[in-house]
Amino acid sequence: MKVKLTPEVKSALAKKKPVVALESTIIAHGMPFPQNLEMARKVEKVIRSEGAVPATIAVIDGALRAGLTDKELERFAKEGPGILKVSTRDLPLVVAKKLNGATTVASTMRIAAMAGIHVFATGGIGGVHRGAEKTFDVSADLIEFSKSNVAVVTAGAKSILDLALTLEVLETQGVPVVGFGTDEFPAFFSRQSGHRLTLRADTAKEVAAMMRAKWAMGLSGGMVIANPIPAEHEIPAVQIAPYIERAIAEANAKGIHGKDVTPFLLKRITEITEGRSLTANLQLVLYNARIAAQIAKEFARSSKK
């Protein structure tokens, strides 16, 4: 099955120009309107300012899409939770029934890889949920990293998760977790998590070289490019931790589970922090987009040699 590309994305890929994939769940389910639309537009603008082409991934009327028009971005932002949150397991349903779907990290990776896009910017990846030893709640994002050849620039795994177990699963799957300018795995809102990394890159060129080396050896699967939130926008772990614990307790009390957990927790934390966490979320996404565009440029440059 082919991915439907916008003329801009199709031209860029044909000419081997840099393209950066973006997910649509962060628009429909990650932030409230109109902040989500403002974020989507700003992210695309940042990517273009770095000389790359943005390709927001989604499913529209059953068609896999790479690149959305401004009207389509606005539609996803306004309809929000009314649009299905689609992971890889859900793709056959939305395609067969010709539905609309907002793609998660996992399904965005899969569609991006199908389209030939190898760099993807997001906020935070999914991971192993707290209490997974009882619930077995492990995000499909981690499994997809072992399958799709896409480097994902992220501010780490969402701090609502069990970061230690998340890193263990990534290691088991053979997924490189590369600290971008850091030796420590970032924790989404916070620059530090207490978990050291063994891999580090300080420039976009170094990341692109790792990508090319990995796939040239036949080592399939993606890479996590762990890019800490800018210092001026972070919420230190010691400050955000009590808010996360409170939100998790509320989710448990309400019986919220599965793919509904993350949207509930992020919304509740935004409320508890009086919008501070939303501001941090916006800033880290923009920064990830900028770094992803730089990596895409270096990867495209090396592809032409």
Asked if 33 and 78 count as a contact pair (C-beta separation under 8 A), the reply is: yes
Strands 53-60 and 63-66: antiparallel
What b-and-e string marks burial along 177-191, b requiring 16 or more CB atoms within 10 Å of the CB?
bbbbebebbbbbbbb
Residue of 17, 23, 50, 74 marked active site: 23
Q: What is the DSSP letter of 128?
A: B
Residue of 10, 17, 85, 158 marked active site: 158
Annotated catalytic, 2? no
Q: How far is CA 261 from CA 213, 219, 247, 267, in A?
A: 37, 33, 10, 10
Annotated catalytic, 38? no
Transcribe 160-226 into DSSP letters: TB-HHHHHHHHHHTT--EEEES-SB--BTTBS--S-B-SEEE-SHHHHHHHHHHHHHTT--S-EEEE
Q: Among 259, 2, 196, which Cα is nearest to 115's? A: 2
Distance CA 192, CA 222 (A): 23
DSSP β-bridge partners for residue 66: 5, 57
Q: Which residues are catalytic?
A: 23, 158
